[in-house]
Structure 1
Amino acid sequence: MKYENYIFDFDGTLGDSKECSIVATQQAFKTFGLNIPTEQDITYYMGIPIEVSFLKMSQRTLSEQEVEQLLTLFRQKYKVYETDYLKPFEYISEVIRLLSEANKKLFVVSSKKTEVLIRNLESIGLYQYITEAIGSDKVKAYKPNPDGILSILNKYNLRPDKAVYIGDAIFDIQMAKAARIDSIAVTWGSHSKEALSNEQPNYVIEEPIELTRI
């Protein structure tokens, strides 16, 4: 394995949260009296924080107070549904265990709040393998800004050429490029292989086990 440090996205990469996010988002928008976003739009924006994506999906401008109310409503509904809907992608748990046993350092940089990210990692049995999980509340600027990756590189004194970011969205590839580290695009998440390939990641993979062969 070429890399020593693997930095993962969560939604659409480690955890299959698509159905949970769709249901919680649509119910939050409906309850709030807004247009109900399509599954396609929700899936596309899953790579960036809801603080950004919800503004893009709303048909009207929201005040700061309305945004906070909508976000709170979404988080309440997400927490209700995550028990039933959230699960690791097939073979991800086995691959993460193999990487850990090979003494690779594993990190997660996500658009979720850190508290929720850790809770989700614990619920799918992966948190024990993660050196650190960084959510949107721990960075100054959201994806595709590289703050999350750079903070890990600096804190753990990691060589950029020995680190790689793995994600399912074009925003993930853009973030890795901004941080000047390699990227691996995975095709089992939110964005198509074609869209991901257009961002020119270092690798595009279709099965989790391929992570152990790079």
Structure 2
Amino acid sequence: MLQNYLFDFDGTLADSGTTTVDAIQVVLADYKFTQPSADEIRYYMGIPIETSFPIWTDHQADDKTLAAMYADFRQIYGELERVNIKLFAGIKDVLATLKADNKELFVVTSKASGAIKRSLKQLAIEQYFTGTIGSDQVDHYKPAPDGVLNIARQYQLNLDQCIMIGDAKYDLQMGNVAGVATCGCKWGAYDVASLEKEKPTYLIDYPQELLTLR
């Protein structure tokens, strides 16, 4: 029986529209790097900027430049997110129902820990979550299993009762390596076929289906 629900954030709980794409393109343009297309950016969404930005810069940016780009991205993203971000339809009701059923809810995200706490508060869903873990709280980023395993260790969770829920293949890969059940979410996915290739335990179309998982 599932007891612990570990959610990705962007594309799973929340729809931030073109926020990520816009912020990445602005920063790369500011630093005179070629702008990738929106589709190219979406392909890598789900992993931290510390992994994707070296790719966008073709590994030509030094550590000092990358650090400045990360800071600029987070500032621009935060400004855009305050305007653009919204919950996917039905998510809040699903979270409330799971919580009322005494399930433990967590967020495992590639966002920094401060950013995810800010986002949950802005969307008025922070009260549903027992804990969160951001990219600055793991030694290895998605798709490594650190996020799941750190949450499990911190809260003494039984892995057999955990499920990792996300819209990107990196979420499913992380869950698979960690040894927990996985659920691919089509409603926010850029590439559903990539989710199918990971052979998740569940692959669902709508948030309400989360209430049927066992």
TM category, shorter? over 0.9
Bigger shift: residues 17-26 or 95-104: 17-26
Task: Specify the alignment match of 2:164 in structure 1.
Answer: 165
Shift of 1:75: 0.9
Q: Deviations over 1:116-166 (max 9, x none)?
A: 011011111111111001000110110011111111111222111111000
Q: 2 CA distance for matches of 1:40 and 1:190? A: 12
Q: How many Å separate the matches in 2 of 1:34 and 1:86?
A: 27
CA distance in 1, matches of 2:106, 2:78: 23
Give the letter aligned to residue 185 of structure 2: V
Do the aligned residues in 2 keep the contact of 1:139 with 1:147 (CA within 8 Å)? Answer: yes
Fraction of identical pairs, as percent: 38
Offset at residue 59 of structure 1 (A): 3.7
Q: How does 1:180-199 map to 2 (within 5 A)?
A: 180-199=179-198
The 3 A distance-change label for structure 1 pair 119 and 77 is same
1:10-36, CA deviations, whole angstroms, 9 ceiling, x for partnerless residues? 111111124111111111111111111
Return the alpha-carbon distance in structure 2 between the equivalents of residues 148 and 27 of structure 1.
Answer: 29
Q: How does 1:91-102 map to 2 (within 5 A)?
A: 91-102=90-101
Cα deviation, residue 60, structure 1: 4.9
Structure 1 counterpart of 2:50: 51
Distance across 2 between alignment mates of 1:75 and 1:129:
25
Residue 144 of structure 1 aligns to a residue whose secondary structure is: coil
The DSSP-based 3-state class of the residue aligned with 2:35 is: coil
Contact 1:95 1:209 in 2 (8 A): yes
Check the 8 A contact 1:108/1:134 in 2, yes or no: yes
Cα distance between partner residues in 1 of 2:154 and 2:83: 36
Q: Secondary structure at the match of 2:18?
A: helix
Q: Which residue of 2 aligns with 1:211?
A: 210
Calculate the TM-score normalised by the size of structure 1.
0.96
Let me know the Cα RMSD of the aligned residues.
1.1
Q: How does 1:1-214 map to 2 (within 5 A)?
A: 2-214=1-213
Moved over 4 A (4+): none
CA distance in 2, matches of 1:56, 1:188: 27
Unpaired runs of 5+ residues, structure 1, are none
Equivalent position SS for 2:32: coil
Q: Which runs of 5+ in 2 are unaligned?
A: none
Shift of residue 88, structure 1, vs aligned partner:
0.9
How many residue pairs match? The answer is 213
Asked if 2 retains the 8 angstrom alpha-carbon contact of 1:35 and 1:59, the reply is: no
